Amino acid sequence: MIYFDTSYLVRLYYQDPGADAVRALAATDHIACAALGQAEIMAAFHRKLCEGAIRPAAYSALVVQLKTHITAGALQWLGQDEETLPKVISVWPLNPGH
C-alpha cells in the first residue's frame, strides 16, 4: 500500500506537473489516503474550476470519475482516531528549515 496525500491524488485525475510520475507510482501498489482527502480533492477540483483551469464539463467529469472510483473501492480511505493527530503533530519539525 502507498499513501498519497491530496496533491498526489489530484495528479491521478488532472495533468498537473509530475502527474506522469505519480500515475506510474500509483500503478505499483494500492493507494491509500486519509479520509479527509475526499473533501480536499473535491476542493482542489473546484479551485481549478474557479481559476478557469478547467471548464464546467471537465469539472463534472472529474467529479463523476472520482465518485466512481470511490464507490468501486479503488482507493482506501484511512480513518482518524483520537490517537492519530497527536502522533502526527509530535513529529512536526520545530524549525521549518529542518
Q: Which three cell numbers stand for residue 18?
A: 509530475
77 forms beta bridges with 33
Asked whether the beta carbons of 62 and 31 are under 8 A apart, the reply is no
Give the pLDDT confidence score for residue 93 in this predicted structure.
Answer: 60
Confidence (pTM): 0.77
- pLDDT 10s digits, 30-85: 999 998 888 899 999 999 999 999 999 999 999 999 999 999 999 999 887 777 66
Domains of the chain: 2-90 (3.40.50.1010)
Rounded-to-integer distance, Cα 22 and Cα 30, Å: 13
Q: Residue 31 has which C-alpha cell?
A: 493507494
18-39, pLDDT tens digit by residue? 999 999 999 999 999 998 888 8
